[in-house]
Amino acid sequence: MYNKIKPYALPLLTVAGLLLSIFWMAGAFDTKIEPGKITNNTPYKGETLTLKTSLVQLNEDVPATVRSKQTTHVAARILAPIKSIHVKAGDMVKKGDLLIVLDNRNNHSNVAQAKENINAIRAQLTQAKSHYARTKILYKKESVTKAQLEQASATYNSLRAQLARARQQLESSQTTSSYSKIRAQFTARVIDRFAEPGDLASPGMKLLTLYDPQSLRIDANVRESLALTLKIGQQLETHIPALNKTLMATIEEIVPAADPGARSFLIKAKIENKGQLLPGLFARILIPSSKQNQLLIPTAYIKQIGQLDVVWVLEKNTPVRRFIRTGQQRGNNTMVISGLTEGEQLILPNQLKTNMTVN
């Protein structure tokens, strides 16, 4: 009998030891303490804050985007190879700065030909003018016929017309030649460039994109019932999460037509750029929606434990830890959504005595 049990003794003892260890780690052999408040025999006698509700303006958080009012796509006006590009993405340029130079040797040749043509016509015109003047004198002396006078006059007037057309052609060639140098039309920042030296630029081909950094605004699609309460010139608090920056935006345009799909209106608000804002940044606009009685408590009374917000409430002279749900922050105060009621008393975390242990 003993010999039959002996092979199973060691495994049974091992399993029993593991079970005892699990029970011990689970606290099965510890003295149970009922869920309490704060184990402290001395009543709390420090300062407290009595909660009161107040009428608060509630805001609706609306997603928005930073955009530039003035964005320009720089394009070529003529067909020509790109000789050089003097800017790159991120560069600041001033009005009149040279951006791109096109290889415009063909138009330079046209300008030279137009000038030579003008000089030739001028020489002919000088000769025709003298001939016409002599013919008029001879006609008065009845030395030439009227037909000869009319022929001299027609030749003179024809050359004058040819000179006018040649001057127009020269002006057109010079204007076309000027298109070989593309300059900035306003102080701007380069967003991106879409060509490189050696590429063939054609009329209308986009080469650069510029924007005015001083004309940034916030665009937001606001639901129709909320948008109808807004007015031109109204200021709205705006937060830029990427920069952790809050600024004021002034409404300058409300598109007078709703998006039938989203049931929203496009709101455009002007903002001041101090060098950090960039087009395309995500923003949030706080739009006033309604007024309600809410509990506001100083943020200093809230302690974060992980992702939970905790306060200490005085109950029967004993501090009690309580988890709460918070909302928007307003300056040094935080809105309490749930967990507290009016009339309760709060204790600052740093005022708790060191001998008070929270369960």
259: tokens are 């998006």
Q: What is the pLDDT of residue 29?
A: 61
Structure tokens at 61: 């958080």
Choose among 275, 273, 213, 214: nearest CA to 249. Answer: 273
Q: Could you tell me the pLDDT band of residue 66, with boundaries at 50, 70 and 90?
A: very high
Residue 35, C-beta contacts closer than 8 angstroms, at least 6 positions apart: 359
Q: Which DSSP symbol is given to 259?
A: B
In 3D space, the residue among 190, 225, 227 whose CA is nearest the CA of residue 209 turns out to be 190
The CA distance from 227 to 266, in Å, is 9
| DSSP states of 93-146 | E-TT-EEEEE--HHHHHHHHHHHHHHHHHHHHHHHHHHHHHHHHHHHHTT-S-H
* Tens-digit pLDDT profile for residues 69-92: 888 899 988 888 999 999 999 899
- Does the pTM surpass 0.85? The reply is no
- Give the whole-angstrom CA distance, residue 286 versus residue 87: 38
Set out the domains of the chain in order of their start, with CATH numbers.
Answer: 38-57+293-358 (2.40.420.20), 61-70+215-289 (2.40.30.170), 73-98+186-214 (2.40.50.100), 105-178 (1.10.287)
pLDDT tens string 119-129? 888 888 888 88
Q: Which residue has the higher pLDDT, 181 or 108?
A: 181
Both tokens assigned to 52: 């009161």
Tell me the pLDDT band of 268, cut-offs 50, 70 and 90. very high
Give pLDDT tens digits for 144-196. 788 888 888 888 888 888 888 888 877 777 777 778 889 999 999 999 999 99
Q: List residues bridging with 329 in a β-sheet.
A: 334
> What's the pLDDT at 331?
77
